[in-house]
């Protein structure tokens, strides 16, 4: 019986160690917001349907001490429903000249057919902005 009582602390330390290792592994695989946004754009680019839309505004905003974020605000219709959305295009600055995006500019929008409110105007492999 003494031997069994001595094993409890060893088992407890091993269990805590396994829990800590599993938690560290889960944290290391956690995606950043930028990675999740890139995956969203890639998915919509792959499966998305295209519709016409209009640029409503281009906005630059301070981002909690991380510089500025650039937002492209746009409107589009799908199946008689109007959507107004924005896309953070900060990571795609090299692909878009926001100074040429004027209010009323016609654009193509790619949207998720199963969730039409989920849409993009620009991605790494696609650009819906028209000149």
The pLDDT value recorded for residue 73 is: 93
61 plus 105 within the same structural domain = yes
| Number of other CB atoms surrounding residue 39 within 10 Å | 11
**Predicted TM-score of the model (pTM):** 0.72
19 and 83 within one domain: no
Number of domains present in the structure of the chain: 2
Q: Which domain holds residue 25?
A: 1-30
In a domain, 99, yes or no: yes
Q: Is the four-CA dihedral 109, 64, 68, 29 of positive or negative sign?
A: negative
- Output the pLDDT for position 3: 58
> Do residues 3 and 58 share a domain?
no
Are 37 and 55 a contacting pair, CB within 8 Å?
Answer: no
Residue 4: its pLDDT value, please? 65
Shared domain check, 55 and 5: no
What digits encode the pLDDT tens for the residues 38-51?
Answer: 999 999 999 999 99
Give, as one character, the DSSP assignment of residue 30: P
pLDDT above 70 (res 2): no
Contact indicator for 77, 85 with CB cutoff of 8 Å: no
39, part of any domain: yes
* Residue 59 confidence class, pLDDT cut points 50, 70, 90: confident
- The CATH number assigned to the domain holding 38 equals 2.40.50
- Determine which helix (DSSP H) or strand (DSSP E) holds 61, and give its type and residue range: strand 49-62
Contacts of 97 (CB under 8 A, 6+ apart): none
Whether residue 60 is found in the same domain as residue 4: no
List pLDDT tens digits, range 75-127: 999 999 999 999 989 888 888 777 777 788 899 999 999 999 999 999 999 99
103 shares a domain with 43: yes
DSSP 67-92: -EEEEEEEEEEETTEEEEEEEE-GGG
Residue 5 confidence class, pLDDT cut points 50, 70, 90: low
pLDDT at 51: 97
52 and 113 fall within a common domain = yes
Read off the pLDDT band of 131 (50, 70, 90).
low
Same domain, 37 and 11: no
Q: Is the pLDDT of residue 1 over 60?
A: no
């Amino acid at each position: 019986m003494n031997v069994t009582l001595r094993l409890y602390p060893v088992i407890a330390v091993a269990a805590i160690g396994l829990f800590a290792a599993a938690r560290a592994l889960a944290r290391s695989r956690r995606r950043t917001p930028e990675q999740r946004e890139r995956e969203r754009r890639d998915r919509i680019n792959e499966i998305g349907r295209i519709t016409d839309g209009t640029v409503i505004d281009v906005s630059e905003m301070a981002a909690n001490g991380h510089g500025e974020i650039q937002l492209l605000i746009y409107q589009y219709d799908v199946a008689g429903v109007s959507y107004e959305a924005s896309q953070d295009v900060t990571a795609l600055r090299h692909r878009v000249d926001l100074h040429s995006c004027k209010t009323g500019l016609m654009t193509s929008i790619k949207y998720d057919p199963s969730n039409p409110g989920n849409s993009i105007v620009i991605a790494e492999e696609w650009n819906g902005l028209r000149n």
